[in-house]
Amino acid sequence: MKILLVEDEKRLSYFIKKGLIEQGFAVDSAFDGEEGLYLAKEETYDVIILDVMLPKLSGIELCKKLRELKKETPVLMLTAKSEVDDKVEGLNSGADDYLTKPFVFAELKARINALLRRSYHQVTNNLTIDDLEVDPLKHIVKRNGKMIKLTPKEFAILELLLRQKNEVVTRTQVIEHVWDYNFESLSNVVDVFIGTLRKKIDKGYKVPLIHTLHGVGYMATDKKPQT
């Protein structure tokens, strides 16, 4: 899943980005409101983390502009402790949730996950298909009760496929949601990742769950995929 982080405090931005990347997220960072607005308009993000106090354009103005442009990306606003009005104004400007600084990383992660769950219309935290279980918060993958170790990128691709299970996910969608802005999508890197993922998830099991639909994309399903 891909996140846009708009935060002008360099140390905090670095800390959040590092933590999110370790969790398998792709992260683009912007350090002022204008840069943030540009990226939010041009790129595809699953969640935008938006600081309120920003140079050039405030988080609240940025959020208002996005909503005026009918961009519905979930926004998590970061507010300072004393700024009670910011929370109200933030929510009124179209933000979906807010987090007060300073916060612990676990809470940020939980709130991002709640927003993802909402936008992909999921009721529970865990993503499941057949005997495969993925816990995006604890970063645990199990098939038939057995733990499977994945790299952050493999995990991110699996999470994306499971959030849209039984639906085709195109290669472009995988790149958009799993890699950041600097990624050059010229190679067959997605197919390589799908290949290793399939080995780890499906090898030794009767029902294959990760499918490649040639010329179309990929699908996680326990049925025979129809195209």
β-pair type (97-101, 75-80): parallel
The answer for residues whose C-beta is within 8 angstroms of residue 98's C-beta and 6 or more apart is 76, 77, 78, 79, 86, 87, 90, 91
Q: How far is the CB of 57 from Ca ion (least distance, A)?
A: 12
Q: How far is the CB of 9 from Ca ion (least distance, A)?
A: 6
Q: Which is nearer to Ca ion, 8 or 154 (CB)?
A: 8
Measured on CA atoms in the order 29, 7, 37, 87, is the torsion positive or negative?
A: positive
Q: Which is nearer to Ca ion, 50 or 194 (CB)?
A: 50
Q: How far is the CB of 12 from Ca ion (least distance, A)?
A: 8
- Ranked by CB distance to Ca ion, the top (closest) residue is 53
Longest dimension (CA), the chain: 57
Q: Which is nearer to Ca ion, 1 or 50 (CB)?
A: 50
Contact 90, 79 (CB under 8 A): yes
Q: What is the rounded CA–CA span in Å between residue 164 and residue 2?
A: 15
Q: How far is the CB of 51 from Ca ion (least distance, A)?
A: 4
Q: Which residues bind Ca ion (CB under 5 A)?
A: 8, 51, 53
Q: Which is nearer to Ca ion, 57 or 175 (CB)?
A: 57
